[in-house]
Amino acid sequence: MTPQALETLGTRIDEVFLLIGAAILLIELAEVLFKGSHKGRTIAEMLVSASTQIPSIAVQVFILTGAYIIYYILAEVAQPWQIPLTWWGIALAVIAADFTYYWEHRIAHQVRILWTQHAVHHSSRDYNIITGIRFGPLEGVWNLIMHIPLVFLGFSPEMIFFGIIVVLAYQTWIHTEVIGKLGWFDKVMNSPANHRVHHGCDDKYIDMNYGGITVIWDQLFGTYQAEEETPRYGLKRDFDSRNPIKVWFSELPGLWHDVTRARSWGEAWRYMMRPPGWKPSADRGE
């Protein structure tokens, strides 16, 4: 297979999941319009979710497009070997991208400076297909950094980009309540039921089900939780805004407040690098 053919295949896969997502969206809109008692709120929530694409695309165009050249430079000057562009090599690339996504995603929940971006995706009290495109402006930067090690494992930039596209495209259809539990499928693959858990802010659901395509990584690393009762969606803290600017930058004011009032540079650093909600010992009364 040629790099051009792989790029075309990635585009086709993305288009297939986009069509599936569009079909689910039509069903969700029909439910909202004909059965929803809070349809005004739901439509507003969908619109603000879609609005997050404005800063996200701007960053993609003006920063990340050029930054991805790093992959080609590293592949040229520092790649010890290259995995061949065959079907088994492509399958390995998708598995590697999915494994990388698990850790990229998990770390983004545990490091507050990264959470300021990923929290945008979790900030909606509604859960629908449009939630899947609700991104923080700089989430792509962390994605770029986390996938760089795949170059040193021998994957070409084209294979890495293909893996990223497949992992993200797959997740298009899982942001919905239209599809219920899927039996054995839920125990192996990321599914609407599994991802609803991930978006829940209930204590039992917090920081669970990080997987992209499969939940096998969650099973292996102790972060799997099956859906039981319907989750309460959104952030743990009281945040329920449909102001686009507040949604885009929802976590930054709180981080700025804590960092600027830190009692030392070390404390300021820990505010940024420790999990969300971390406080110095003195603040906890210890």
By three-state DSSP, how is residue 198 classified?
helix
The answer on pLDDT for 74 being more than 70 is: yes
The answer to whether the beta carbons of residues 213 and 167 sit under 8 Å apart is yes
Q: Residue 64: what pLDDT?
A: 75
Task: Dump the DSSP string for 40-73.
Answer: HHHHHHHHHHHHTHHHHHHHIIIIIHHHTHHHHH
- Of the listed ranges 74-83, 108-117, 216-225, 238-247, the least confidently predicted one is 238-247
If pLDDT is split at 50, 70 and 90, which confidence band does 178 have?
Answer: very high
Mean pLDDT of 180-206: 95
Contacts of 174 by beta carbon, 8 Å cutoff, 6+ apart:
132, 190, 191, 192, 194, 195
By three-state DSSP, how is residue 189 classified?
strand
Segment holding 234, helix H or strand E = none
Q: Residue 41: what pLDDT?
A: 75
Mean pLDDT for the chain overall: 90
The answer on pLDDT for 277 being more than 80 is: yes
**Residues forming a β-bridge with 189:** 214
Q: What are phi and psi of 229, to 5 degrees?
A: -75, 160
Residue ranges of alpha helices (H) inside the chain are 3-35, 39-51, 53-59, 65-67, 69-77, 87-110, 112-122, 139-147, 149-152, 157-170, 184-188, 192-198, 216-221, 244-248, 252-260, 265-273
The answer on pLDDT for 283 being more than 60 is: no
Q: Residue 157: what pLDDT?
A: 93
The answer on pLDDT for 189 being more than 50 is: yes
Q: Residue 34: what pLDDT?
A: 80
The answer to whether the beta carbons of residues 94 and 214 sit under 8 Å apart is no
If pLDDT is split at 50, 70 and 90, which confidence band does 258 have?
Answer: very high
Mean pLDDT of 51-61: 85
If pLDDT is split at 50, 70 and 90, which confidence band does 285 have?
Answer: very low
Nearest Cα to 161, choosing from 100, 88, 214, 115?
A: 100
Give the residue, 68 or 231, on which the prediction is more confident: 231
Q: Residue 36: what pLDDT?
A: 65
Quote the tokens at residue 267.
């404390």
If pLDDT is split at 50, 70 and 90, which confidence band does 286 have?
Answer: very low
The answer to whether the beta carbons of residues 207 and 235 sit under 8 Å apart is no
pLDDT in tens, 83-134: 999 999 999 999 999 999 999 999 999 999 999 999 999 999 989 999 998 9
By three-state DSSP, how is residue 233 classified?
strand
The answer on pLDDT for 281 being more than 80 is: no
